[in-house]
Amino acid sequence: MDRNGLQSSAYWRQRAEKARLCAAEMTSDEIRATLLDIAIVYESMAERAARRENPQRAKTRSAATTSAR
């Protein structure tokens, strides 16, 4: 947890991995799909945390995406 009380990108990536591992063990297609959806949300949260942790990198990535269009 950072000084603002927010979780790190590593934390969210670990949560995503745990959700994927749990999904792999499920026999119910519905539960498996739900857990995989949760993993996707956790990965998104990890990306947001990574941008927060390194704002200069996010600006560089954004500029590269814009110039590629």
Rounded average pLDDT over 4-30: 93
Residues 6+ apart with CB under 8 A from 20: 35, 36, 39
Q: What is the four-CA torsion angle of 19, 43, 45, 18, rounded to 10 degrees? A: 20
Output the pTM of the full model: 0.74
Residue 28 has pLDDT above 80, yes or no: yes
Which residue bears the tokens 């200069």? 56
pLDDT in tens, 35-47: 999 999 999 999 9
Residue (of 44, 42, 47, 48) closest to 16 by Cα position: 42
Asked if 35 and 20 count as a contact pair (C-beta separation under 8 A), the reply is: yes
